[in-house]
Amino acid sequence: MNWTFIKLQFVQYKKDCGWYLKITSIEQLLIYLMDYERCKHAEAFINYTKSKEFHKEFKHKDDKWIGAYPHLTGKLESFNSIQAVITGEVSSSLTFNFSQNTKFKLLQEYGHILINHNTGCTWLTDRYKIVETIEMPDIIFPIDNKIKIIKWPAGKHYYAKVGALDVVIAGKQKWNTHTEAKRAGEEFLRRLKRKQSQSILTVQGQEN
């Protein structure tokens, strides 16, 4: 099965929106949920427990870890809800979350949905212009090589973006200097390309 990726641009602002995966069937959506989004939730959960923010807020002393429980269970519910959709094991106490409901509803209403790298979704309207379309053998989002450094007015920190993606490394998303932010963007881009290369090799190996 080939997967269609389209690059969108806001018509009014002529601003790139990044790459979106186009889903046109329930079969595609279920495969996407199983092969991609479930892994994204699991990855986000693991990264959260390793982040500086988590360990700064929930230090292992007294009963501080109890405060982390709602945050962790919220992420686990998202992960488990996708498993429930795939396996059909949806009990009265567990229904798949709002984001999954939204994707199914949009697919039913519009006949397609567009899903970005961060699992957010939309659909084609006259707000968007398709600037590029490619086919991929697996759910591997295309990578934009452009690194953009951002510093808000009166802000003290620098942020980086690769294409439409926010640069986040080990839970860190802001840097003290332009140079640090640029280096983070370059490292983020290297990691994306390495991951994409590994995914393509895996798919080719499965086909052989």
- Summarised one tens digit per residue, pLDDT across range 43-87 is 666 666 666 666 665 554 444 444 444 454 454 555 455 444 444
Predicted confidence (pLDDT) at residue 127 exceeds the cutoff of 90: yes
Predicted confidence (pLDDT) at residue 41 exceeds the cutoff of 80: no
Query: Is residue 36 classed exposed, middle or buried when 0-12, 13-18 and 19+ CB atoms within 10 A define those classes?
Result: buried
Q: Is the pTM of this model over 0.85?
A: no
Q: Of the spans 37-51, 85-99, 113-127, which averages the highest pLDDT?
A: 113-127
Phi first, then psi, for residue 159 (nearest 5°) are: -125, 155
- Which pLDDT score, from 0 to 100, does residue 89 have? 44
Measured distance CA(188)–CA(183) in Å, rounded: 9
Portion of the chain with pLDDT greater than 70, in percent: 63
pLDDT digits (tens, 9 = 90+) for 135-180: 988 888 887 788 999 999 989 999 999 877 789 998 899 999 999 9
| Beta-bridge partners for 121 | 115
- Which pLDDT score, from 0 to 100, does residue 40 have? 67
Residues 6+ apart with CB under 8 A from 152: none
Lowest mean pLDDT among 67-71, 94-98, 110-114, 165-169: 94-98
